[in-house]
Amino acid sequence: MKYYLLAGEASGDLHGANLMKALKKEDAEADFRFWGGDLMREVGGTEVKHYRELAFMGFAEVMMNLGTILKNIKFCKKDIEAFNPDVLIFIDYPGFNLRIAKWARQKGYRTHYYISPQIWAWKEGRIKEIKKDVDEMYVILPFEKDFYEKKHNFPVHFVGHPLIDAIYSQKQVDPEIFKKENGLDERPIIALLPGSRKQEIKKMLEIMISVAKDFTEYQFVIAGAPSQEKSFYETFLSTKNVHFVTNKTYDLLSISEAALVTSGTATLETALFKVPQVVCYKGGRVSYEIAKRIINLEYISLVNLILNKEAVTELIQNDFNTKRLKEELIKILDPYKRASMFLDYYELEKALGGRGASENTAKLIYSAIKK
């Protein structure tokens, strides 16, 4: 069978790669063509575009790059027609993927969506497009099944969360070897996860590293994004007590004492590694003001949304400052607070449904297209 996968971000590359591995187990003759990244490339197939060329963040940046986005959409349609796949697999990235899905459905291609767009957070009206243009939807958050089926009468498959598989498949890291290889000393580590896009990294890191001077008994380590060169981080590495590793986020989290994390998938990854965290977010003023008016959620982190309570502290926009961050970091280094957070983390993992998301999805996709 011929599979055309569309992933536009680093997380999509990770989940797309694991899905491709699972599809190979179901279909030994699987032929992949994809938009993704290095992890998908390692599995095999033909890479069309890297997600680095597609990552535009925020309303303002999207508008500034609208011409490039429209060119990519036009090119994608032509490339799909040339490949003529048995199924299109969309992985999150809704602004782009739902446009392609609409066109693809009109052309008669099978459209399968893995990792639902977060329409429960904003743009709920997209449900009309999804019901019309998506043949099968595979959701990875437990509350999404009720959202689609009970609220919108659209049947979906809850397959579990693929991060659980990705994390449990990690090889155990020796803390001493990791520290030695990366020029770190023996002090406990506080991980800094500032995101993957340049705009958010700049905003987040300046405040994150501002607390390093107050916690000299720890060492702060920036988790460099695979999509960015080390040279981009040099400005921040001049700060005393701040170190850097690149493309080793999971290894870093596995031996960290605490973490300061930009809101997004990384909050869930940090929780699954059982690392106490403070969730941070600071966007551009215009983008934030627009988002505040159209997003109707009590929390912004996936940890709190899934548990439906404030298990981790969220410092958003003006609350994300040196004073508040220092206060919250002190709290999560306290043994009592840490024990409470660990209990919430175990509850979270149970709610996510255990292992097997990639395999579950691959079986459902292969079974559907064989019919």
- 73 φ, ψ (degrees, to nearest 5): -65, -45
135 and 27 in one domain?
yes
Range 183-188, long-range pairs (CB < 8 A, 24+ positions): 183/243, 184/219, 184/221, 184/243, 185/219, 187/217, 187/218, 187/219, 188/217, 188/218, 188/219, 188/256, 188/257
At 65 the pLDDT is 58
Beta carbons within 8 Å of 310's beta carbon, 6+ residues apart = 299, 304
Instruction: Check residue 66 and give its pLDDT.
Output: 59
8 Å CB contact between 104 and 88: yes
3-state class (DSSP) for residue 148: helix
Residues 213 and 334 in one domain: yes
Please state the domain count of the chain.
2
Kindly state whether residues 347 and 361 are assigned to the same domain. no
Closest by CA to 195, choosing from 267, 94, 101, 244, is 267
Average pLDDT over residues 309-323: 95
pLDDT of the residue at 149 = 97
Q: Is residue 24 scored above 90 in pLDDT?
A: yes
189 and 121 inside one domain: no
Strands ordered across the beta sheet of 313-316: 242-246, 219-224, 189-193, 258-262, 277-281, 313-316
Q: What are the tens digits of pLDDT across the range 249-305?
A: 999 999 999 999 999 889 999 999 999 999 999 876 555 544 554 456 788 899 999
Query: How much is the mean pLDDT over the chain?
Result: 91
pLDDT: is 303 or 166 the higher one?
A: 303
Does the pLDDT at position 7 exceed 60?
yes
Residue 39 confidence (pLDDT) above 80: yes
Which tokens go with 74?
Answer: 């036009």
Q: Say yes or no to pLDDT of 31 above 50.
A: yes
pLDDT band at 9 (very low <50, low <70, confident <90, very high): confident
Q: Which pLDDT score, from 0 to 100, does residue 290 have?
A: 47
pTM of the model: 0.81
pLDDT at residue 69 in the model: 72
What is the per-residue pLDDT across 196-225, written as a single tens digit (0 to 9) for each? Answer: 888 889 889 999 999 999 999 999 999 998
Domain encompassing residue 300: 168-351
pLDDT in tens, 82-111: 999 999 999 999 989 999 999 999 999 999
One domain, residues 326 and 225? yes
On whether both 336 and 362 belong to a single domain, the answer is no
CATH assignment of the domain containing 305: 3.40.50.2000
